[in-house]
Amino acid sequence: MLISDGRIRWVGAHARAPREARSAREVRGADRWLTPGLIDCHVHLCFDGGPDFVAEARVSEPYAAIKCVGNAERHLAAGVTTVRDLGGLGAVVCEVARAIADGRVQGPRVVASGQALTISGGHGWNSFARQVDGPDGVRLAVREQIRSGARSIKIVATGGVLTPGVSFDFTAFTREEVDAAVHEAHKWGVPIAAHAIGRTGIDHCVRAGIDSIEHGAQISAATARAMKERGIFQVPTISALRGIVDHPEDVPSYAVEKGLRVLEFARDAFRRVIRAGARHACGTDAGTPHNPHGGVPLELARMVEWGLSPLKAMQSATSNAAELLRLPDVGSVTVGGAADLVLFGRDPLEDISAVADPTAVFLGGTLVAGRARPS
C-alpha cells in the first residue's frame, strides 16, 4: 500500500509497487492484519464516564472543552479514528471538532451534533440537550445546531435511563415534531439520529425516515423489517447499559432500576434487527457512567456476544458507520480514500478480542498511536 498526502494512492503486490514507492518510508505489516480505522457513532466527549452523568454537566463550557479534548484523544489509542458526538454542552464539541480539523489539538475526526434536542422536561434536559417544542421550534433548533457547526443532528424521541422523573419508554416528540426534525436535517444534508428506547417513539422515528435508532430496546419485529426496507441503522450502545447496571454501588439508584428494565428488552430487540436483515452501526455512548472513551473494542465484543458475527461487528464499526455518517472517504481501504488505518496482531474475524490490542493506528497516514515497525 502506498500512502501520500493523507490518502491511499495504491494497493497491490509489493513487487508491482509504483516507482514513487522507492523513496517512501516503509512500515512493515507482515504478520499483521490491516483494517480501516474504527468509527464510534455515539459518544459524549464533554463527559468522562463518572457515576453521576447529570452532575458532570454542571461545569462551565471552557472546562468542558478541556475535558472534550482529552476524551477525544483517548479514542485514538483504541484504533478509533472517527467519532460522532451526540450531545454536549452548548457548541463546545463543534468548536473542538474544528480545532482538531485545523490541527491545533490531536484527536480523531469528530462529527459533532451540538446539543441534542429534547422536549421541555424531556430526557437530557439537565445535561446534554436543548429543550424545544412544536414543529417550528424543532426546525429552528436544527438550524441553530447546524449554524454552530453541527454535521449531525440528534433528537431525544423517548425517555431515558439517566434523567430522573422520566420513564425510559415515555413518548416525547409528537409525530409532527419528529417529521419536522428529519425533514430539516435532511434538507441541510446531514444525518439525524434518534435516542429512542420505547416502542411508540421508535416507530415515529422509523416512519419519518430517521437515519439511526440509538439504543432501540423495544424495536419490534415489524419495525425491524421497516428499518431494513428504509436503510435505517440500529446503534445499540450495549456498553452504556452495562456501565450502569453493573455498578449499583455508585450510579444513582433511579438509573440502575431503569437500566435493568431496559436490559430486559434490549438483547431481543438487537436480535430482531439481525433476523430482519437490518444493519447495525457501532456506538458506545462513551461518557455515560462507567463507560470511558475508547471502548469500541469492548462494544464489538458485546455485539458478538449478543449474536452478531465478527465480520458484521467489524462492518458496524467501519463501512456501516461511514455510510451512516455520510463519510465516503473513511470506513474502507480504498484507493483515493483517507488513510485511516489500524494494524492488529491477530485476525479480528477469527477472534473479535483482537481489536482490543492495535499495534499501530494511522490517521490520514500519520502514526497517532501504537508502534509502527520501520524497515
Q: What is the pLDDT of residues 193-252, one digit of tens each?
A: 999 999 999 999 999 999 999 999 999 999 999 999 999 999 999 999 999 999 999 999
Look up residue 9 and give its three cell numbers: 494512492
Parallel, antiparallel, or unpaired for β 129-131 and 116-118?
A: parallel
Sites in the chain below the pLDDT cut of 50: 375
Instruction: For residue range 13-61, list pLDDT tens digits in order.
Output: 887 888 888 788 888 888 999 999 999 999 999 999 999 999 999 999 9
Which residues, including other chains, have CB under 8 Å from residue 224's CB and lie 6 or more apart?
269, 272, 273, 275, 276, 278
Which pLDDT does position 48 carry in this prediction? Answer: 97
| Nine-digit cell string for 174 | 409528537
Task: Please report which helix (H) or strand (E) contains residue 254, including its range.
Answer: helix 253-276
| Per-residue model confidence (pLDDT) at position 131 | 99
Identify the pLDDT of residue 375: 47
Q: How do strand 33-36 and strand 7-10 relate by DSSP bridges?
A: unpaired
Of 42, 112, 40, the residue nearest 80 (C-alpha): 40
pLDDT at 372: 64
Domains present along the chain, CATH in parentheses: 36-324 (3.20.20.140)
